[in-house]
Copies of this chain bind each other. A is one copy, B any other.
Amino acid sequence: MVKEKQVRSTAAKQHIREILSKSETAMSQPEILEHSEGICDRVTIYRVLDRLLHEGEIHRAVGMDGITRYASCRQCDHDHGHQHDHLHFSCEVCGEVTCLEKVVPVLKLPRGYQAREASYMISGICPDCG
């Protein structure tokens, strides 16, 4: 019998969830920290993000700069396997990373490879900066 770790609702978690759900762009830990008004430590932010990630409330994408950014799940299809395989765009001018939830790359993984997580990132110039 495996004991499931119970999910606890805390102030930090609610706060971070709200920051992400209000954001138009995917946010990194430092960006979240800026908007958190000192509600918690930066380590806590990392840990809350991990939990939200595992609980399926948010997804992440790694930018060309190697920084992980998080975004809440919106248009993703929870009924069909809960995939977050849409494209992300990283602007080289303003630095913002945007979820392009409607753009889902099509590909065929060769035999033998088992996919668990995808990160599709294109960097360039976004409409606002172009």
Interface positions of A (Cβ within 8 A of B): 62-68, 87, 89, 92, 100, 102-127, 130
A62-B64, A105-B105, A105-B106 are contacts. A112–B87 as well, Cβ < 8 Å?
no
List the number of copies, as a whole number: 2
Least CB distance, A123 to chain B, in whole angstroms: 5
Whether A124 contacts B115 by the Cβ 8 Å rule is yes
Least CB distance, A91 to chain B, in whole angstroms: 9
A66-B68, A89-B113, A103-B108 are contacts. A122–B126 as well, Cβ < 8 Å?
no
Whether A110 contacts B118 by the Cβ 8 Å rule is no
A62-B63, A66-B66, A110-B100 are contacts. A121–B118 as well, Cβ < 8 Å?
yes
Whether B64 contacts A66 by the Cβ 8 Å rule is no
Q: Given the complex, which residues of B lie within 8 Å of A66, measured CB to CB? A: 62, 66-68
